[in-house]
Structure 1
Amino acid sequence: MAATSRSSEVLIVGAGPVGLFAALRLGQAGIKTTVIEKEAEISQLPRACMYYPQVQFALQDAGIWNDIVEGGGFRTTGLDIRLPPVSDDQGGKRPGELVANFPREPNFDPKVDAYGPPVQPPSMSMLNMPQPLLGKVLLEKAIETSNVEVLFGKELVSILDGSKQDSAKVRVLVRDGITVADEEYQSSFLVGADGGRSKTRSLLDIPFPGHTWPEKLIATRMLC
Structure 2
Amino acid sequence: MSESSEVIIVGAGPVGLLTALGLARQGVEVTVLDSEPEVVRSPRAAVYFHTTISILKKLGLADEAHAIGLSSTEFAMHWLETGEVMRSDMRDALEPGQEFDHNLHFGQHILAELVIAHLDHLPNARVLWNHAVKALAQDARGVRLAADTDEGEVRFSAHWVIGADGARSTVRQLAGLPFEGMTWPDRFVATNIDYPFLDFGFGYANMVVDPDNWAVIGRLGRENLWRLTYGEDAGLDEQSILERLPERFAAILPDPSVPYRIDNFSPYRVHQRCVPSFRVGRVLLAGDAAHACNPCGGLGLTGGVIDADALSDTLGAVIGGRAGESVLDFYAAERRRVFLEVTSPMSANFKRLLSEKDPARRAQDKAEMFAQAEKGGAEVRASSLAELIKGAPMPVEPAVA
Report the TM-score range of the alignment, normalised by the length of the smaller protein: 0.7 to 0.9
Q: Deviations over 1:119-158 (max 9, x none)?
A: 9427452211111111110111122122110000001101
Amino acid in the other structure paired with 2:70: F
State how far apart, in whole Å, the 2-side matches of 1:11 and 1:55 are. 24
> What corresponds to 1:113 in structure 2?
none
> What corresponds to 2:134 in structure 1?
157
The question of 1:79 aligning with 2:72 is answered no
Which of the numbers 1, 16, 19 marks the counterpart of 1:19? 16
Which of the numbers 8, 25, 29 marks the counterpart of 2:26? 29
> What corresponds to 2:147 in structure 1?
174
Change (3 A) 1:54 1:102: farther
Give the match's secondary structure for 2:120.
helix
Higher relative contact order (CA 8 A, sep 6+): 1
The question of 1:121 aligning with 2:107 is answered no
Structure 1: gaps (5+ residues): 89-93, 107-118
State how far apart, in whole Å, the 1-side matches of 2:147 and 2:77 are. 41
Change (3 A) 1:37 1:81: farther
Give the match's secondary structure for 1:149.
strand
- Are the aligned partners of 1:102 and 1:124 in contact in 2 as well (CA < 8 Å)? no
- Are the aligned partners of 1:103 and 1:124 in contact in 2 as well (CA < 8 Å)? no
1:1-224 to 2 correspondence within 5 Å?
3-4=1-2, 6-70=3-67, 72-81=68-77, 85-86=80-81, 88=82, 94-95=83-84, 103-106=89-92, 120-121=97-98, 123-162=100-139, 167-176=140-149, 178-179=150-151, 181-213=152-184, 217-223=188-194, 224=224
Q: Deviations over 1:146-202 (max 9, x none)?
A: 21100000011010244xxxx4121011110x23x1111000100000001111001
State how far apart, in whole Å, the 2-side matches of 1:122 and 1:221 are. 31
Q: Deviations over 1:82-126 (max 9, x none)?
A: 56x12x4xxxxx258x8xx864315xxxxxxxxxxxx94274522
Change (3 A) 1:158 1:95: farther
Residue-pair matches, total: 194
- Are the aligned partners of 1:160 and 1:173 in contact in 2 as well (CA < 8 Å)? no
Change (3 A) 1:122 1:66: closer
Change (3 A) 1:214 1:186: same
Q: What's the TM-score, normalizing by structure 1? A: 0.77
> What corresponds to 2:398 in structure 1?
none
Same amino acid, percent of matched pairs? 28
Q: What's the TM-score, normalizing by structure 2? A: 0.45
Q: Deviations over 1:30-81 (max 9, x none)?
A: 11100001000000111001012221110011121112233x2132012135
State how far apart, in whole Å, the 1-side matches of 2:75 and 2:16 are. 28
State how far apart, in whole Å, the 1-side matches of 2:134 and 2:38 are. 19
State how far apart, in whole Å, the 2-side matches of 1:102 and 1:19 are. 33
- Are the aligned partners of 2:10 and 2:33 in contact in 1 as well (CA < 8 Å)? yes
Structure 2: gaps (5+ residues): 195-223, 225-401
Structure 1 or 2: more helix by fraction: 2
